[in-house]
Chains A and B, each alone.
Chain A
Amino acid sequence: MAGSVSLMACHECDLLLRVDHSFAEGVMKCPRCAAVLLKHKRHSLDLTLAYTITGLILFVISNAFPIIDFQFERQSTETILLSGVWELLDQDMYLLAGLVFVTTILAPFTQLVTLLYVFLPLKFNRIAPYTSEVFRFASALRSWSMMEVFMLGILVSTVKLASMGTIVPGIALWSFGILIFVLAATTSSLDPDLVWEKLGVSR
């Protein structure tokens, strides 16, 4: 990282600041509104790439295997991530099915794929075509990916159903639990300024 002092504006209050970018790790906050201005992390690029790949593997496992097996009398119902969406479609609840699909499957998956598209070439000092557009899209997706909220939903449903029958956790439940932490780690290791800096130089 170039140990440079440059002019920047706070993205939340528009305060103009002279900022020294040359700190290795930590967070710099706006002196006026306390918004996070810069977030530096050692090995940010490597970490983000590693977490993204881990996240993708866990995502596939989380979707391929059952989350919960609900047993009642001698019947058992297995649920994978998608079966809730199918069931809602079956009941003609298209909007609800769409909302659940986007927030628990499409947005997290697209976010991971787009990050891989940006960070894998960056690792080898290359830049894939349309990287800036793709990265902008990946950042916008973040608020629509709600895996951690879905996890809480699973826990609540488990408690609700516990009185009705037997609940057996599936493989996906475990991979899902880890995925939540990996996604959080991806977000915290990602330093957007580092990416923009690399992209800015190449243009």
Chain B
Amino acid sequence: MNDQTNTWITAAAVGLINCHSCGLLHKATPVHDYCHRCGASLHLRKPDSLSRTWAYLFAAYILYIPANVLPIMTTTSLGSVQSNTILSGVNYLLVSGSWLVALIIFIASIFVPVLKLMILSYLAISVQVRSSWHPRERARLYRLAEIMGRWSMVDIYVVTLMVALVKIQGLADIDADIGAVAFGAVVVLTMLAAMSFDPRLIWDNAEKNNE
């Protein structure tokens, strides 16, 4: 298998563009073109992939701070007001004995976003420094980051449902708080970052260094 590595030929190397949307191969032209079959805009690689990925990642890193420091929901019951951040919510679940739910929320709201930010940052850096190290594993990391991000939305939905369900006249009321907005933004921004990153860049560098 390893001997084969040097005989890989990419579409780009022979002047072909693969349509990002429907996978039809086109002859690369000097002018900007559209796919003859599906009408999508043709690019050899996703346009400005790295700059866009970094822009979304930086925005996500910045918003990650308020998402964790500010409360995501506020409970008013019998006149006492209590605000919960993501972490204090997990802690509350642990104390009240629902360790399984605490674990789910911990993984979805804290572990997954951090891991996704780290993976995408690592991939972006590795492409930036033209690393040729283990491209297959990096491709796998990219796929992992792409599919797991959506599960972070769980906490947003929990807040939404709590807000809708707990409306007990004069006894208890739950309001969504600004931290949830920041957290939702982090999830969306990391999704956009993953979508802008072009995994072909991982392989482009692996090839060049092999030559």
Residues of A within 8 A of B (CB): 7-16, 32-35, 68, 70, 72-73, 75, 77, 79, 83-88, 91, 93, 95-96, 99-100, 103-104, 132-133, 135-136, 139, 143, 146, 149-150, 152-154, 156-157, 159-161, 163-164, 192-193, 196, 199-200, 203
Contact = CB atoms under 8 A, between A and B. Distances in A.
B52 interface: no
A88 B160 contact: yes
A95 B143 contact: no
Which of A13, A88, A91 gathers most chain B CB within 10 Å? A13
A11 B160 contact: no
A160 B164 contact: no
B161 A14 contact: no
Contact of A156 (B136, B158, B166): B158
A156 B10 CA distance: 46
A75 B168 contact: yes
Contact of B101 (A79, A91, A160, A200): A160
B22 A192 contact: yes
B20 interface: yes
B10 A14 contact: yes
A81 B156 CA distance: 14
A72 B156 CA distance: 24
B184 A136 contact: no
Contacts, number: 191
Contact of A72 (B20, B98, B168, B195): B168
Given A14-B11, A79-B165, A84-B164, 19 more contacts: A9-B16, A13-B135, A14-B203, A33-B139, A34-B136, A77-B167, A87-B160, A87-B164, A96-B184, A136-B39, A139-B21, A146-B153, A153-B160, A157-B161, A157-B162, A160-B98, A164-B166, A192-B22, A200-B37
A9 B160 CA distance: 43
A96 B153 CA distance: 11
A140 to B, nearest CB: 8
Contacts of B25: 7-9
B165 A33 contact: no
Contact of A77 (B21, B108, B166): B166
Interface residues of B, number: 68
Interface of B: 8-14, 16, 18, 20-25, 36-40, 93, 96, 98, 101, 104-105, 108, 135-136, 139-140, 142-143, 150-151, 153-169, 171-172, 175-176, 180-181, 184-185, 188, 191, 195, 199-200, 202-204
Contact of B162 (A9, A149, A160): A160
